Amino acid sequence: MNTMCSACGLQGYPARVGVDVIEMFQSPPVPYRITRADEWACPGCGQRWVEGYSTKATQHFEPTFMADVEEACGAVRRTGDEPGAGVRICWERADDRRPPDVGLALLQLWLLKVAARAGERLRKP
């Protein structure tokens, strides 16, 4: 499969094979679906894009969803990477978009809140 940069017309190359893509929705944004894809880059201008999505995705209503998001946020997929370096966040609206490090921090905060709520429900008689 060939890809092409729409900005400069050069053929793209796979910059990172196998990134976790977390799709966000609602306001404030919360994770909706997680899947795997590949990140491509342009050798001319450096523009990056994600494509080649997997047909297997975990939806927000599935029992393994929280564990999958938590694993992606803390995963080290390549030697020398920071935890979560292989995560790409797909925002529903342009005004929800955040820099990648802020987006990952928001996801981790969301996971902590959900875990705290789950713990409170378990403690109640």
- At 33-73, the pLDDT tens digits run 999 999 999 999 999 999 999 888 999 999 988 888 888 87
- At 68-111, the pLDDT tens digits run 888 887 766 666 777 677 888 888 776 776 666 677 777 777 77
- Rounded to two decimals, what is the model's pTM? 0.75
Q: Are 23 and 52 within 8 A, CB to CB?
A: no
d(CA 20, CA 93): 19
